[in-house]
Amino acid sequence: MPRPMRSTKFRANVDVERLAPFLEDIYGKYNRKDLIHPDPLEFLYDYSRVEDREIVGLIASSLAYGRVVQILKSVSSVLATMGSSPFDFVVAGDRSVWKRCFSGFRHRFSGSEDMVDLFCGVRRAIDLYGSLDRTMAQALKETDSAFQGYCRFAEWLVGKEKRNSLLPFPGRGSACKRLMLYFRWMVRRDEVDPGGWSSLSPSDLVVPLDTHMHKIARVLGFTSRKNGDFRTAVEVTEAFGLIDPGDPVKYDFALTRFGIRDDMELEALFEEVKPKVGGTVG
C-alpha cells in the first residue's frame, strides 16, 4: 500500500462525536443518484465496461472547470465524436486522426491541442500497461507514496515539463481538484461513484478541493488555511479521516450538492452546521 500523505503542522480540532452523526445524516440524505445532475459524473453511467468508463471519467473530470452548462456541453461533444466505445476510439487512433476529429474544439482555456495531447498520453499508457488503472498501479509501484504516484501518473499522461490545461500536475502545488475528482469516481463505489479501479483504495484518496468544499471545510473547522492548494486539500482529507479513516472523501458528493444545485443553497448547510461547531460560522 502507498504511504499516506501528511499535511502541515495544523491539526483540525474535530469534534468527531458531534460531527460524525451529522455527516452520516448528510450522506444518507444527499448521496443519491437522482442528485447527480448537473455533474459531469453523469456521463460515466452510460458505459458499463471499465476500460471505457475510465477514459470517459478522465475526459469528463478534465473538462470540469467553468460554467456547468458549458462543461456538460463540452463533454457531450467529445464523447459523441468518440462513438460507442471510447477505449476502441483511443487504441485505433493516432495524433493525425485526433487532430482532424477535434479541430476547432475549445473549452475555455483548453483547445484541440490539449485534447489531442491527452489522447496521446492515454494511448501511450494503454499501450504500455493495458489500462489507466494498471498505469496507476505501476506508478504506485515505482514510488513511495500516493502523492508521488499521482505525480507519476500525470507525468506519464502529459509529461513532467509540458503543461496541459486539461490535466493538472500535483507536483506544482495546486489542489488538482479535477484529477482528485477523477480518482474518486474511479476508486469509490456506492450509489453515486461507479468505481471500477483496484489500484487505489478509498483511504488513498484526497478530497477534490474546490471553492465550495474549501468554504465548507473552513466552516467545519477542518482547516484554517485560506489558500486552496494541495496542502489544504490534504489537511481537509485528514480531518475527514478522523471520522472515516477508510473513506475520507465519502462525504464529498453530498456536501458539495449545496451551492452547486439551484435548489440546495450553501447557506442552508451552514445553518445546519452551526450547532455542531459552537454556533458560529465563518
Tell me if 111 is assigned to some domain: yes
Tell me if 241 is assigned to some domain: yes
pLDDT in tens, 114-145: 999 999 999 999 999 999 999 999 999 999 99
User: Do 148 and 238 have their domain in common?
Assistant: no
- Residue whose C-alpha is closest to residue 247's, from 42, 36, 24: 24
pLDDT in tens, 41-95: 999 999 999 999 999 999 999 999 999 999 999 999 999 999 999 999 999 999 9
User: Do 79 and 118 have their domain in common?
Assistant: yes
pTM listed for this prediction = 0.94
In this model, does residue 8 exceed pLDDT 60?
Answer: no
User: Do 232 and 275 have their domain in common?
Assistant: yes
Q: Could you tell me the residue range of the domain that residue 215 belongs to?
A: 1-30+206-282
For all residues of the chain together, what is the average pLDDT? Answer: 93
| Domain total in the chain | 2
Tell me if 199 is assigned to some domain: no
Tell me if 197 is assigned to some domain: no
Q: Which of 145, 170, 195 is the last residue of a domain?
A: 170
* More confident site: 13 or 232: 232
pLDDT of residue 145: 93
User: Do 162 and 228 have their domain in common?
Assistant: no
User: Do 56 and 126 have their domain in common?
Assistant: yes
pLDDT in tens, 185-233: 999 999 999 999 999 999 999 999 999 999 999 999 999 999 999 999 9
